[in-house]
Amino acid sequence: MKQILLFLLLTASSWVFAETSTQDKLNRLEAELNDVRQEQQAVYQNYQMTRDLRRLEVQEGSPPTSQYPYGKSIYGTDINTPPPNYDDVVRTQMEREQRIQHYTNELKGLSARYLELEDRRRALLELIKKLKQQQGS
């Protein structure tokens, strides 16, 4: 009789221990899922900001020669306004193109990171679903 009681006690304790272990694992996975979601949101917000910066840079499209940098006059509207320095114009255009390329590269990287996080999120959701099914059984 003592052996049967001992056996039942050991079986029940192992079942409770397994249940606690599963619940702990489930809690860890849900915490990790929450972290992934937060990082995904931050990446998306960074993507939006970078996209807007790039869009503004592209829309600025008017060449810097249209405005004289030292005064309110626009080149060509006043005979006394000297033309801008060619080297300054070329340098400004190159800097603008470099910023656009930098934003484009950053957008590609953010997009790739977001997709990585999405894959991780889906995998975590699948694991959580399986654990909940095991726990319910």
Q: Domain residues of the chain, as ranges?
A: 2-136
- Please, what's the largest Cα pairwise distance for the chain? 113
Q: Phi, psi at residue 34, to the nearest 5°?
A: -65, -40
Under 8 Å CB-to-CB from 54, ≥6 apart: which residues? 100, 103, 104, 107
- pLDDT per residue as tens digits for the range 35-60: 999 999 999 999 999 999 999 999 98
Q: For residue 6, how far is the Cα from the chain centroid?
A: 54
pLDDT exceeds 60 at position 70: no
SS3 78: strand
pLDDT exceeds 80 at position 65: no
Nearest C-alpha neighbor of 134 from the set 32, 36, 31, 29: 29
pLDDT exceeds 70 at position 69: no
**23 or 53: which carries more pLDDT confidence?**
53
Q: Report residue 75 as tokens.
A: 């080149």
In this prediction, residue 61 carries a pLDDT of 74
Q: Are 106 and 50 in contact (CB under 8 A)?
A: yes
